[in-house]
């Protein structure tokens, strides 16, 4: 589907409607968490550990408590009185809220100061004196997993090693046999460093406990408000919080990217403080706290082996990963998938043999593994297979585009059952790559490269033909802490034909207020402008698991369509009643029912809505509304092919992305402009890790990259002009034929860039470079090969 | 990122500002663009009981050429330098550099006076001022002038006394057959230099170098003046080999430290590469070949 079915007034699917949320965002009238002020509100600030591992000998709060306006200092022993000093993580591990006697990572919360003003709270933090006794630090996940390593999680009874979990998929012996029988095998160690979501808005909340009603309202930057409510009810039931008396409100969010799925200690402390003090307590992280303490992603050490026949036919893939989870496995993965959907690692290729495994290690770092703009470890999987594919092409001396074309799953093979157990819904990988090659002028670029190489100039062309797996459920496989991963829509049509639609998801900038309105418009013919979309308030929105993993359109978007269809069914009955014909005699076109063969006899959806409240048929319930909880039968598998051209400065090693063509396929498109925006943003968040961003730790566990002085997030000036285009291969099982698209570009872009840089250096014998590809990394190669300026 | 408490004073005249500085002594600090001072306060890396804001002091914001001297008022914003026709036409070293300083938002606030007075080796203007042979006019109890290459003593340590205010920068108008260039490598917009080189040259009648100023940014605790390299160039034809040798001599003077931007070895090499590139550009702009 490429032409819209509705006119511009209705603005259903396929219209580039301007985003309904933008007038308030552009005018600075968004209401983010820190814009909220409640009467009598107190402020919380957090004392954090300078050590990665230390014994807390003493916390001296006397000086802090002397500052006028400092009301309390809350520490681990305070919380222990209420048994709130530990909490479960979404991945079923445990995590300290505040420590009793030992800190396990730098920037860990040690205690919290509650004060009447934000500035006074900060002064209080400055005045708290903590005595530490530094202890040995474990930063290397390989050493942590080695036999005899000191056990980090001594709190876990009987724990004798530092393995957070082991997970695997596929038949190991079979994959190894097939590798051994291959004509060529490449093997590369591919590391995806620790990075940070670095959303514009940091994390924060206002906890407001109403002592008279016993009701807790938490305004919170969360991507999954309902899940948070249920978890709060489950973990704080013993202090009297029960689910009907908990309201979580997620206001406008300035970027989440997975970092706002977990529940961090600060939230819990603020809630405890409000419950104990009986006043609203606001806690907002500052930028450095955000960069140093939470929202970390990746940190995957992968050994990738890929085999092929001499003619380039891929035979077998084997990946062994050591995952650095930091001090706790606090990532937000579905229960049955501790390594997320990493087993999508066979990618776009028809591989008959594959095996992958992940060993997750505890280290003295903050909890990591957030699914940063990625449907649970898909970025890692795609990077592994796309890098390996290029390394294989190099070894076979084959063009990387040709090798991909040869091994793609063919259109006629869909639905395709992958050897690691997924059923890909639809795809046409060759078409996307061909289109990208045509747009960029692939053959001419290869000729230019050959010319340049003769002159000693360094230019590279990189391809990434990724396949994503997004939109969790289905609920038979997917749950978080037991809650099934369906999602919901609730639509009410008002008497005048306007509507309000509420969802279990939560936009963080994705444009749900527009996209969902367009889906309702498509299905009901009510102009999108007349559909008010609301999310994020657990007192009003239907239950749902929230927005991450590109799941909103696959789940709540589908629910919106199906709830609309329920409404349409009822409207049809009303129309039949009004027109005094039978339902079967009515035909629908967006916005109205008309009598077959007599189109002048018609009732608009607005007329039906009015009648639903003023003149509904005898025996029919009044009103026009519907709820749908959508449990997807499968995930959706968006894909695309990206091609990028880089030039390398031989003097400095600096990499410049000259061109970047992105051809995406996310099935049927609801709002092309929003999809384009998602791709632009995602590509920018792809160039970031590829060339700039990294968080690392020295041997003492001190962070590097913990402020914007050295965590290099690209700006508009670092980004090339993105050249986007699309192919459309609808999802066969989604009611609208749509697939998720929020994360494709973040996932697909880094290997395209890495492949381009390696391609530029290929003739020097380079087969792999870990990201971020810094100027110094490139320069070191140039120097060692004797070709630096 | 919440600063400790301070008192804020807004001076309406230079004398008032000087009086306030004198009164509060070491507890006071001048606030101009605030783009270096405020981050330090916010991060609580520094704290001062009194800030003396000189943004409303009249007569400190100008760019003018007079009697063979370019005079720039200390409160001139980087953005004003970026737009200035005088700078664009005659001072390519500044025209190169200013758009590479920080980002547009910071340049709208940040002043040239603050940039040179700050004493951070990451600042770009100090090396440029040294290469240009600039002089800083300083007002305290009385007025005095300090040569740019005598101004920097150590990390955040300059020839300025706490009670003094830098009011003007004086740059000799470059004679004919002069050219300058600034080359900077940075990780991204808004980042300080991995390495950067400032070069200002004047060529003689037959194309040999008559005067050379070379200085490096972020290559040590202070801006580094490459005196030997400049001396070496004088009297020589600036050919490929001579430039390469001078660049090597300049880089030998650099003493950077390792950080996220790169290792010591890399930074020293970049000082060489960037000095060579700046020299080439400067020669070309001076009308040499
Ligand atoms: C994100 C970011 C990136 C940056 N990147 C760069 C960069 O790439 N290159 C670069 O050069 N700079 C960079 N800076 C710093 C910026 O250029 C500052 O503007 C400059 O360093 C200080 O100028 P200011 O007017 O803001 O001074 P302020 O911050 O107000 O003051 C700086 C210091 O100078 C003193 N001072 C200021 N004016 C006077 C005066 N007239 N007399 C005496 N003392 C005075 C102050 O007391 C203070 O100690 C960056 C800043 C930021 C925030």
Residue A238, pLDDT score = 85
Q: Boundaries of CATH 3.30.390.50 in chain B?
A: 178-285
Query: Tens digits of per-residue pLDDT, A625-644?
Result: 999 999 999 999 999 999 99
B189/A718 touch (CB, cutoff 8 Å), yes or no: yes
Least CB-CB distance to A652: which of B44, B190, B273?
A: B273
CA-nearest residue for atom 43, ligand 1, is: B165
Handedness of CA A61, A66, A70, A71 (dihedral sign): positive
Q: Which residue has the tokens 């689910």?
A: A243
Task: Tell me, yes or no, if B13 comes closer than 8 A to chain A by beta carbon.
Answer: no
Least CB-CB distance to B266: which of A286, A692, A776?
A: A776
d(CA A594, CA A576): 9
Residue A154, pLDDT score = 96
Residue A1, pLDDT score = 55
pTM of the model: 0.97
d(CA B250, CA B157): 23
d(CA B153, CA B114): 16
d(CA A261, CA A367): 13
Residue A481, pLDDT score = 86
**Gyration radius of chain A's alpha carbons:** 27
- A-chain residue closest to B1, CA distance: A286
Least CB-CB distance to A789: which of B4, B185, B273?
A: B273
Residue B1, pLDDT score = 77
Q: Boundaries of CATH 3.30.465.10 in chain B?
A: 63-172
* Residues forming a β-bridge with A586: A595
- B-chain residue closest to A777, CA distance: B262
* Domain ranges, ordered by start, for chain A: 22-30+487-630, 33-135+203-284, 296-472+634-784
**CATH 3.30.365.10: does it fit domain A22-30+487-630?**
yes
Is A728 within 8 Å of A1 (Cβ atoms)? Answer: yes
Q: Tokens standing for A751?
A: 């290997």
B5/A123 touch (CB, cutoff 8 Å), yes or no: yes
Test mutation, B8, B188, B193, B256, chain A, max A CBs within 10 A:
B188
The dihedrals phi and psi of A104, each to the nearest 5 degrees, come to -120, 0
Topology classification of domain B7-53? 3.30.43
Q: Tokens standing for A187?
A: 């093997």
Residue A2, pLDDT score = 66
Give the number of A-B residue pairs with CB atoms closer than 8 Å. Answer: 60
pLDDT value at B3 more than 70: yes
B194/A775 touch (CB, cutoff 8 Å), yes or no: yes
B289 confidence band (pLDDT: 50, 70, 90): low
Is A753 within 8 Å of A680 (Cβ atoms)? Answer: no
Task: Tell me, yes or no, if A126 comes closer than 8 A to chain B by beta carbon.
Answer: yes
Q: Are strands B152-154 and A42-48 parallel, antiparallel or unpaired?
A: unpaired
Which residues, given as ranges, of chain A have pLDDT below 70? 1-2
* Residues of A whose CB is below 8 A from B43: 288
d(CA A48, CA A34): 21
- A-chain residue closest to B267, CA distance: A776
Residue B288, pLDDT score = 81
The question of whether A106 is a catalytic residue gets the answer no
CA distance B245 to chain A (A): 14
- Per DSSP, A13 falls in state T
The question of whether A373 is a catalytic residue gets the answer yes
**Please, what is the average pLDDT of chain A?**
97
Handedness of CA B98, B102, B108, B111 (dihedral sign): negative
Topology classification of domain B63-172? 3.30.465
- A-chain residue closest to B39, CA distance: A709
Test mutation, B244, B248, B269, B281, chain A, max A CBs within 10 A:
B269
B44/A126 touch (CB, cutoff 8 Å), yes or no: yes
Half-sphere exposure of A76 (CA within 13 A, CB side): 20
Q: Boundaries of CATH 3.30.43.10 in chain B?
A: 7-53
End-to-end CA distance of chain A: 52
CA distance B170 to chain A (A): 32
B266/A705 touch (CB, cutoff 8 Å), yes or no: no
The question of whether A743 is a catalytic residue gets the answer yes
ipTM: 0.96
The proportion of chain B whose per-residue pLDDT surpasses 70, expressed as a percent, equals 100
End-to-end CA distance of chain B: 51
CA-nearest residue for atom 19, ligand 1, is: B110
Q: Tokens standing for A618?
A: 């005898």
The question of whether A111 is a catalytic residue gets the answer no
Least CB-CB distance to B188: which of A715, A776, A783?
A: A715
| Span A296-472+634-784 CATH architecture | 2-Layer Sandwich (3.30)
Residues 26-85 of A with CB under 8 A from B: 45
Q: Which residue has the tokens 């459309």?
A: A728
Return the closest-CA partner of residue A252 out of A622, A639, A511: A511
Q: Which residue has the tokens 């500044």?
A: B94
- Three-class secondary structure assignment of A435-474: HHHHHHCHHHHHHHHHHHHHCCCEEEEEEEEEECCECCCC
Task: Tell me, yes or no, if A786 comes closer than 8 A to chain B by beta carbon.
Answer: no
Return the closest-CA partner of residue A749 out of A426, A304, A436, A350: A436
Q: Is B101 in the pocket of ligand 1 (CB under 6 A)?
A: yes
Task: Tell me, yes or no, if B262 comes closer than 8 A to chain A by beta carbon.
Answer: yes
Task: Tell me, yes or no, if A5 comes closer than 8 A to chain B by beta carbon.
Answer: no
Half-sphere exposure of A254 (CA within 13 A, CB side): 18
Task: Tell me, yes or no, if B194 comes closer than 8 A to chain A by beta carbon.
Answer: yes
Q: Tokens standing for A479?
A: 């749950």
CA-nearest residue for atom 5, ligand 1, is: B102
Query: B224-227 — which CB contacts under 8 Å span 24+ positions?
Result: B224/B127, B224/B253, B224/B254, B224/B255, B225/B130, B225/B149, B225/B253, B226/B250, B226/B253, B226/B275, B227/B253
Task: Tell me, yes or no, if B273 comes closer than 8 A to chain A by beta carbon.
Answer: yes
The dihedrals phi and psi of B268, each to the nearest 5 degrees, come to -65, -40
- A-chain residue closest to B184, CA distance: A652
| Stated length of chain B | 289
Is A104 within 8 Å of A277 (Cβ atoms)? Answer: no
CA-nearest residue for atom 27, ligand 1, is: B114
Residue A651, pLDDT score = 98
* Residues of B whose CB is below 8 A from A119: 2, 5
Atom index in ligand 1 nearest the CA of residue B36 equals: 29
Q: A510, exposed or middle or buried, with CB in 10 Å at 0-12, 13-18, 19+?
A: buried
Handedness of CA A434, A436, A438, A440 (dihedral sign): negative
Query: Tens digits of per-residue pLDDT, B206-236?
Result: 999 999 999 999 999 999 999 999 999 999 9
Topology classification of domain A33-135+203-284? Aldehyde Oxidoreductase; domain 3 (3.90.1170)
Is B29 within 8 Å of B164 (Cβ atoms)? Answer: no
Backbone region of residue A312 per phi and psi (left: phi > 0; alpha: psi in -120 to 50; beta: other values): left
Q: Is B98 in the pocket of ligand 1 (CB under 6 A)?
A: no
Q: Is B106 in the pocket of ligand 1 (CB under 6 A)?
A: yes
Q: Tokens standing for A523?
A: 């299905």
Q: Which position among A373, A377, A551, A568 bears the catalytic label?
A: A373
Angle at A675 between CA A754 and CA A332, to 5 degrees: 65
Q: Is B60 in the pocket of ligand 1 (CB under 6 A)?
A: no
Query: Tens digits of per-residue pLDDT, A50-68?
Result: 999 999 999 999 999 999 9
**Gyration radius of chain B's alpha carbons:** 19
CATH (residue range B178-285): 3.30.390.50
Backbone region of residue B218 per phi and psi (left: phi > 0; alpha: psi in -120 to 50; beta: other values): left
């Amino acid at each position: 589907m490429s032409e819209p079915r509705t006119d511009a007034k209705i603005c259903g699917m396929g219209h580039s409607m301007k985003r309904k949320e933008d007038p308030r965002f552009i005018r600075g009238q968004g209401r983010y968490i820190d814009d909220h002020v409640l009467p009598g509100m107190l402020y919380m600030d957090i004392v954090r550990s300078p050590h990665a591992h230390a014994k807390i000998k003493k916390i001296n709060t006397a000086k802090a408590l002397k500052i006028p306006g400092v009301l309390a200092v809350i520490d681990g022993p305070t919380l222990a009185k209420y048994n709130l000093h530990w909490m479960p993580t979404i991945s079923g591990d445990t995590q300290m809220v505040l420590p009793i006697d030992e800190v396990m990572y730098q920037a860990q919360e040690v205690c919290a100061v509650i004060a009447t003003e934000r500035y006074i709270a900060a002064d209080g933090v400055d005045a708290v004196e903590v005595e530490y006794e530094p202890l040995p630090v474990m930063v290397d996940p390989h050493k942590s997993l080695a036999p005899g390593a000191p056990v980090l999680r001594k709190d876990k009874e009987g724990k004798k090693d530092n393995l957070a979990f082991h997970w695997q998929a596929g038949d190991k012996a079979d994959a190894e046999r097939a590798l051994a029988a291959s004509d060529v095998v490449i093997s590369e160690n591919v590391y995806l460093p620790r990075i940070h979501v670095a959303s514009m808005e940091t994390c924060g909340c206002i906890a407001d406990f109403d002592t008279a009603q016993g009701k807790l309202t938490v305004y919170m930057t969360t991507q999954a408000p309902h899940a948070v409510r249920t978890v709060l009810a489950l973990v704080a039931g013993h202090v009297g919080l029960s689910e009907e008396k908990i309201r979580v409100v997620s206001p406008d969010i300035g970027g989440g990217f997975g970092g706002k799925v977990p529940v961090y200690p600060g939230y819990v402390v603020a809630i405890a403080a409000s419950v104990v003090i009986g006043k609203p307590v606001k806690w907002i992280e500052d930028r450095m706290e955000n960069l140093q303490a939470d929202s970390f992603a990746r940190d995957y050490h992968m050994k990738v082996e890929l085999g092929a026949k001499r003619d380039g036919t891929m035979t077998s893939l084997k990946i062994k990963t050591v995952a650095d989870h930091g001090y706790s496995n606090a990532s937000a993965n579905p229960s049955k998938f501790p390594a997320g959907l990493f087993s999508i690692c066979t990618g776009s290729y028809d591989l008959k043999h594959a095996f992958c495994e992940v060993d997750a290690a505890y280290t003295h770092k903050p909890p990591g593994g957030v699914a940063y703009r990625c449907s649970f470890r898909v970025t890692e999987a795609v990077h592994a297979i796309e890098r390996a594919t290029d390394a294989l092409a190099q070894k076979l001396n084959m063009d990387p585009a040709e090798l991909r074309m040869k091994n793609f799953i063919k259109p006629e093979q869909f639905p395709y059952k992958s050897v690691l157990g997924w059923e890909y819904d639809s795809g046409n990988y060759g078409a996307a790559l061909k289109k990208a090659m045509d747009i960029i002028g692939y053959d001419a670029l290869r000729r230019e490269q050959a010319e340049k190489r003769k002159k000693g100039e360094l230019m590279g062309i990189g391809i990434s033909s990724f396949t994503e797996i997004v939109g969790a459920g289905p609920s038979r496989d997917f749950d978080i802490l037991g809650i099934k991963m369906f999602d919901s829509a609730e639509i009410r049509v008002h008497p005048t034909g306007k509507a309000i639609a509420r969802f279990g998801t939560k936009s963080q900038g994705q444009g749900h207020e527009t996209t969902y309105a367009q889906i309702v418009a498509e299905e009901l013919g009510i102009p999108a402008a007349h559909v008010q979309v609301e999310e994020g308030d657990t007192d009003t929105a239907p239950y749902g698991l929230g927005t991450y993993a590109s799941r909103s359109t696959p789940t709540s978007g589908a629910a919106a369509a199906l709830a609309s269809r329920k409404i349409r069914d009822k409207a049809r009955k009303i129309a039949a009643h009004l027109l005094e014909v039978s339902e079967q005699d009515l035909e629908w076109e967006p916005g109205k029912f008309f009598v077959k063969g007599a189109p002048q006899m018609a009732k608009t959806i607005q007329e039906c809505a009015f009648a639903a409240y003023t003149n509904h048929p005898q025996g029919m319930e009044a009103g026009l509304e519907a709820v749908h909880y959508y449990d997807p039968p499968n995930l959706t598998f968006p894909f695309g092919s990206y091609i990028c051209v880089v030039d390398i400065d031989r003097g400095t090693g600096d990499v410049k992305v000259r061109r970047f063509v992105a051809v995406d396929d996310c099935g049927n498109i609801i709002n092309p402009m929003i999809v384009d925006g998602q791709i632009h943003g995602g590509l920018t968040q792809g160039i970031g890790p590829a060339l700039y961003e990294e968080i690392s730790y020295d041997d003492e566990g001190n962070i590097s990259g913990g402020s914007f002085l050295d965590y290099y997030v690209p700006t508009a000036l670092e980004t090339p002009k993105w050249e986007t285009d699309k192919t459309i291969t609808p999802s066969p099982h989604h009611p609208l034929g749509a697939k998720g698209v929020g994360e494709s570009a973040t996932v697909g872009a880094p290997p395209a860039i890495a492949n381009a840089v390696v391609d530029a250096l290929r003739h020097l014998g380079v087969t792999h470079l870990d990201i971020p590809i810094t100027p110094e990394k490139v320069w070191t190669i140039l120097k060692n090969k004797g070709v630096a300026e | 990122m919440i600063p400790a408490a301070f008192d804020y004073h807004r001076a309406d005249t230079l004398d008032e500002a000087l009086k306030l500085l004198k009164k509060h002594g070491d507890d006071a600090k001048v606030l101009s663009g605030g783009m270096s001072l405020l981050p330090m306060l916010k991060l609580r890396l520094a704290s001062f009981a009194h800030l003396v804001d000189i943004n409303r002091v009249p007569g400190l914001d100008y760019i003018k050429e007079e009697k063979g001297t370019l005079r720039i008022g200390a409160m001139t914003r980087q953005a004003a330098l970026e737009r200035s026709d005088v700078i664009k036409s005659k001072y390519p070293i500044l025209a190169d550099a200013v758009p590479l300083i920080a980002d547009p938002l910071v340049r709208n606030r940040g002043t040239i006076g603050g940039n040179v007075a700050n004493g951070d080796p990451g600042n770009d203007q100090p090396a440029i001022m040294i290469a240009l042979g600039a002089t800083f006019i300083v007002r305290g109890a009385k007025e005095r002038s300090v040569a740019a290459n005598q101004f920097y003593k150590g990390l955040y340590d300059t020839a300025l006394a706490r009670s003094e205010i830098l009011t003007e920068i004086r740059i000799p108008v470059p004679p004919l057959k002069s050219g300058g260039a600034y080359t900077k490598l940075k990780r991204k917009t808004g980042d300080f230099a991995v390495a950067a080189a400032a070069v200002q040259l004047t060529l003689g009648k037959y194309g040999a170098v008559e005067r050379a100023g070379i200085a490096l940014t972020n290559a040590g605790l202070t801006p580094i003046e490459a005196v030997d390299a400049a001396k070496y160039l004088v009297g020589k034809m600036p050919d490929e080999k001579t430039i390469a040798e001078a660049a090597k001599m300049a880089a030998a003077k650099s003493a950077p430290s390792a950080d996220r931007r790169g290792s010591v070895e890399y930074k020293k090499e970049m000082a060489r590469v960037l000095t060579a590139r700046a020299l080439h550009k400067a020669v070309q702009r001076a009308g040499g070949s």
